[in-house]
A and B are shown apart, each in its own frame.
Chain A
Amino acid sequence: MRQRMGHVAKLLIGLWLAGVAVAMFLVVPQYEGLGNAGRIMIMHVPTAWVSVLAFAVSASFSGLYLWKGRVAYDDYALAAAESGFLFTALATVTGMIFSQVVWGVYWNWDPRQTSIFVLLLIYAALFALRSALEDGQRRRQLSAVYSLFAFVTVPFLIFVAPRLANSTLHPNCAFIAGSQCSGVNLSVGRIGLLGDRKIQLLSLEQQGEVVTAQVQVSEPGLRGEHLLTPSYDLASGKMVSRPEFPGLKYQLGLEKVDLATKSVLLNIEAPGTGLLDNRITLFTFLASITGFTALFVWMLTLRATLLSVQWALAQREGTQA
């Protein structure tokens, strides 16, 4: 009976994620400016979340192993770490695809990309450590300690480091309802950084109630310079014109103007802002998180079972340390 329930649950995972894929491509609406590229968020964000969950599970089982000393806990810790690595790689690849469409490059060492790359290296080192130690007991103990230390870096690399850096193009603030990009305050003649673009406010022109800023935008590595002219309506307090960054889907917005000090607040305006405000998108997004979490649980138990079978076989043959 239990086995049959297990089979049904696994079949449901298969159908559920297939349904999420269909909804992602055919049901979820397109996002203004991003077109079909925005759909990848339905997969990208849940895989990143599941990777954090997997690393947390790995650390928990590592702690349990150090406490209780049961080999099964080590199997689960390793299985969770491997799944976490796989989901992180998936989040990285889907992020790279989005990056190519929106930023024009697959990889530009954005703080978010750099931190996830470091995270992948940290967990790759765990697997290298495990394969380097032949003594089973020592391997399990050392990797459990390493796994606990590795997990300490996860909240920092996923949540803190990318937010510490002002120069990220990762749409933290664009896609999460209620959050905001802080932007950059510039007075005439001053230089600042928005994303990975250097910007300089050249001048301000007022025509009636509309103020237009002349902003020189330099591409990364100063490969090229462009003049953008975002504008702002003083009467309504709203942006009028939001030109796109050359080669990107992101726009340059003039959010505030202070004519007395000749200073402005310039910001990145990402298309798709408030993406999850749409109910269909929100439900598909939640269904995706649920599906990927269930997939992780299946992968975790499957891999742990394989490891325990491998251990039992090796013990029977007398080859396991």
Chain B
Amino acid sequence: MNTFLEAGVAIYVALAVALAVWGGVFLYLWRIDRMAQALKQELERDRARTLAEGEQRPVTPRATVTRVGAVGRETVEK
């Protein structure tokens, strides 16, 4: 009979397998978590930079034209 399946040993083998699986899942989650956080921070920095650049640029004149017809209203931004 396989040594690993003997009554006294099998439970330790099962525990080792369970811990190895959990360790793998945990490391995977940890890695993904770090990457997601880094990506999120990068996006936030990028958005802040875009906003800052937008503030420095000269303001483009904008206007809102509203046409009122027989059927309804239509708003066009220019």
Tell me the A residues contacting B by CB distance below 8 Å: 3, 10, 13-14, 17-18, 21-22, 24-26, 36, 298-299, 302, 305-306, 308-309, 312-313, 316
Report Cα–Cα, A25/B17, bound state, in Å. 11
Interface-lining segment among B24-32, B55-63, B66-74:
B24-32
Question: Is there contact, CB below 8 Å, between A25 and B26?
Answer: no
Tell me the B residues contacting A by CB distance below 8 Å: 10-12, 14-15, 18-19, 22-23, 26, 29-30, 32-33, 36-37, 39-40, 43, 46
Q: Which residues of B contact A312 (CB under 8 A)?
A: 43
Question: Is there contact, CB below 8 Å, between B37 and A3?
Answer: yes
Question: Is there contact, CB below 8 Å, between A21 and B19?
Answer: yes
Interface SS, A side: helix
Report Cα–Cα, A298/B22, bound state, in Å. 15
A21, closest chain B residue (CB): B18
Question: Is there contact, CB below 8 Å, between B11 and A299?
Answer: no
Q: Which residues of A contact B15 (CB under 8 A)?
A: 21-22, 25-26
Q: Which of B26, B39, B46 sits near A14, CB closer than 8 Å?
A: B26
Question: Is there contact, CB below 8 Å, between A25 and B11?
Answer: yes
14 contacts between A and B (CB under 8 A): A10-B33, A13-B26, A17-B22, A21-B18, A21-B19, A24-B18, A25-B18, A36-B10, A36-B11, A302-B32, A302-B36, A309-B36, A312-B43, A313-B43
Report Cα–Cα, A312/B23, bound state, in Å. 31
B42, closest chain A residue (CB): A309
**Nearest-Cβ distance from residue B43 to partner chain A, whole angstroms:** 5
Question: Is there contact, CB below 8 Å, between A309 and B40?
Answer: yes
How many A-B residue pairs have C-beta atoms within 8 angstroms? Tell me: 51
**Nearest-Cβ distance from residue A147 to partner chain B, whole angstroms:** 23
Report Cα–Cα, A302/B25, bound state, in Å. 14
Question: Is there contact, CB below 8 Å, between A10 and B43?
Answer: no
**Nearest-Cβ distance from residue B49 to partner chain A, whole angstroms:** 12
**Nearest-Cβ distance from residue B26 to partner chain A, whole angstroms:** 4
Q: Which of B10, B19, B26, B39 sits near A309, CB closer than 8 Å?
A: B39
**Nearest-Cβ distance from residue B30 to partner chain A, whole angstroms:** 7
The residue among B32, B36, B46 with the most chain A CB atoms within 10 A of its own CB is B36
Apart from A21-B22, A313-B43, what are 14 other A-B pairs with CB-CB below 8 Å?
A10-B30, A14-B26, A17-B26, A18-B19, A18-B22, A18-B23, A22-B15, A24-B18, A25-B14, A302-B29, A305-B40, A306-B32, A312-B43, A316-B46
Question: Is there contact, CB below 8 Å, between A306 and B36?
Answer: yes
